[in-house]
Amino acid sequence: MWIYTKRFQHPVDVKKTDLALAKNILTQFGGPDGELAASMRYLSQRYTMPTGKTKALLTDIGTEELAHMEMVSALVYQLTVDADPEEIEGSAFAPYYAIHGKGIYPAASTGEPFTAAYFQSTNDLKANLHEDMAAEQKARAAYENLMNLTDDPAVLDVLGWLREREVVHFQRFGEALTDLYDQLDNKRSFHIDNRDNEIIRPNKDINLTTNCADFNNMLD
Ligand SMILES: [Fe+2]
């Protein structure tokens, strides 16, 4: 379960309207490298993670991405809420306004609505963690691109903070991947079955000699 805390993870307080910027920032809500995709990716992948630590990591980061989604949505709202129709007419925000008004809808800056096809969730822990690390780098790059599109200090503060969190998440997924490879190297403690990637703790039913070869196969 989740408990909602009625405050932002980092303050969002933008006063100046910027319609074009709002349309671009929207992509970090519902675009391919946005916070909705990140959150759904990690909260979906966590079930087949092999250890309590990796399950907790994905739960923690997936939850934090929900808080980031809230911040991005607030940014878009604050950048558009005071705009009047004359201001919107002819702006980059007009096509979005025609459908959604000033409502916050998960879409890319290029207009495509959010799709779960932006992420994958498999039972292959190595595939998941590599995807997660790449996703964090793409999100970092997207925030840097957005920072190039504004000089509003209030917006830059939020975008810069969100960018930093992507770097932290990348590091944490990298540590999890290193842990995983360490476990694969520890032939006395773990076995990975090539058929289902499930880590099985040794017991009397497992032939460790045979399983050592399987470890090495998994490391290719
Ligand atoms: Fe992230």
Tens-place pLDDT, residues 23-34: 999 999 999 999
> Please, where are the H alpha helices in the chain?
19-25, 27-30, 35-45, 52-80, 85-88, 94-100, 125-147, 153-185, 208-218
pLDDT classification of 218: cutoffs 50, 70, 90: very low
Distance 166 CA to ligand 1 centre (A): 4
Give DSSP secondary structure letters for 119-175: ----S-HHHHHHHHHHHHHHHHHHHHHHHTT---HHHHHHHHHHHHHHHHHHHHHHH
Distance 148 CA to ligand 1 centre (A): 20
AA letter at 85: P
pLDDT reported for residue 217: 41
Closest CA to 218 of 172, 184, 190, 178: 184
Distance 65 CA to ligand 1 centre (A): 6
pLDDT reported for residue 215: 34
Distance 169 CA to ligand 1 centre (A): 5
89 is in an annotated binding site: no
3-state secondary structure of 107: strand
Torsion sign (Cα): 20, 21, 27, 30: negative
Q: Tens of pLDDT along 145-155?
A: 999 999 999 99
Distance 15 CA to ligand 1 centre (A): 26
Structural domain range at position 154: 19-185
CA distance 89 to 97: 9
Distance 96 CA to ligand 1 centre (A): 26
pLDDT reported for residue 189: 52
Distance 189 CA to ligand 1 centre (A): 31
Q: What percent of the chain has pLDDT over 70?
A: 84
* Contact criterion met (CB below 8 Å) for 111 and 95: yes
130 is in an annotated binding site: no
Distance 152 CA to ligand 1 centre (A): 23
pLDDT classification of 179: cutoffs 50, 70, 90: confident
35 is in an annotated binding site: yes
> Which comes out higher in pLDDT, residue 173 or 189?
173
Distance 62 CA to ligand 1 centre (A): 8
Distance 176 CA to ligand 1 centre (A): 15
Look at residue 108 and tell me if it is in a domain: yes
Look at residue 201 and tell me if it is in a domain: no
Could you tell me the CATH number of the domain that includes residue 175?
A: 1.20.1260.10
Distance 163 CA to ligand 1 centre (A): 8
pLDDT reported for residue 192: 52
How long is the chain? Answer: 220
pLDDT classification of 113: cutoffs 50, 70, 90: very high
Look at residue 120 and tell me if it is in a domain: yes
pLDDT reported for residue 50: 84
157 is in an annotated binding site: no
Look at residue 14 and tell me if it is in a domain: no
Give pTM, 2 decimals: 0.84
100 is in an annotated binding site: no
Distance 46 CA to ligand 1 centre (A): 15
Look at residue 126 and tell me if it is in a domain: yes
Cα angle 172, 178, 179 (rounded to 5 degrees) comes to 90
Look at residue 74 and tell me if it is in a domain: yes
Mean pLDDT across 42-50: 94
3-state secondary structure of 47: helix
pLDDT > 80? residue 213: no
Look at residue 206 and tell me if it is in a domain: no
Quote the number of domains for the chain.
1
Look at residue 94 and tell me if it is in a domain: yes
Give me 16's structure tokens.
Answer: 């100046």
